Amino acid sequence: MATTSFPDASPRKKKRAAAPAAPTRRDPAGSGAPGGFAPAGVCTAHASPGSLVVTAAEPEFARQFGMSADEICGYGLLGLLRSPVPARLREQFAALSSGRLRRFEERVTGRDGTGRSFPAAVTGVAVRKASGETVGIVVLLRRSEDAVPGGPVLSALDAQVLEGVASGESTVQLASRLYLSRQGIEYRVGQMLRRFDAPNRPALVARAHALGMFTAGQWPPRVLPERVR
């Protein structure tokens, strides 16, 4: 099975520096929310530019990952938040840190305290001095359980093909097991490659993992029932 490798996928606790007071519901970065307040359902955290280490967080933000506000400080954002295109999320944060970008929004997944993936929308906002220097990053996270039905959903047959690809089965093996022609398998794999914007089969499996398509900790891989129509 092709495995997924995420940058900082296993957040490591770093020596905690003196952290500022936990952010309140007011958005100090001026995220554009009416009245300067974070919208309902959004929880926030602060991170250091460059290192992307969490320096302060609301209890609700930390709770999404099964931690307390104190425990989450010192974890890297790239280990907590996963994107279907990891390099793009990393570049977005790098652009915030360097001053090339003021704000971005991205669809991500995280893992809660039980190890289950959840979908969310993340907004990163650069906090700058008058000189333009970025001195902090505010992260606004909106967890969206109702985003699961709106996420990638496969037919039962495509789900079986994806499970086989994730298990390392060849086109011939898949065709034999699913009673399809080799052309039929290649067609379905090709459709998923385009849909997941993946250049090859290993990348397809990686994107599917990043989107939380598979049941955690199960072998052979199985697509989550809610991802099958």
Length of the chain: 229
The token pair at 10 is: 């296993």
The fold adopted by the segment(s) 152-227 is: Arc Repressor Mutant, subunit A (1.10.10)
pLDDT at 212: 80
pLDDT of the residue at 151: 58
Q: In whole angstroms, give the CA distance from residue 17 to residue 208.
A: 36
| Best CATH choice for the domain 34-144 from the list 2.60.40.60, 3.30.450.20, 3.30.420.40, 3.30.565.10 | 3.30.450.20
Is pLDDT above 60 for 177?
yes
* Fold agreement between 34-144 and 152-227: no
**What are the residue boundaries of the structural domains of the chain, listed by start?**
34-144, 152-227
Range with the lowest mean pLDDT among 75-79, 88-92, 130-134, 149-153?
Answer: 149-153
Instruction: Let me know: does 107 contact 121? Beta carbons within 8 Å.
Output: yes
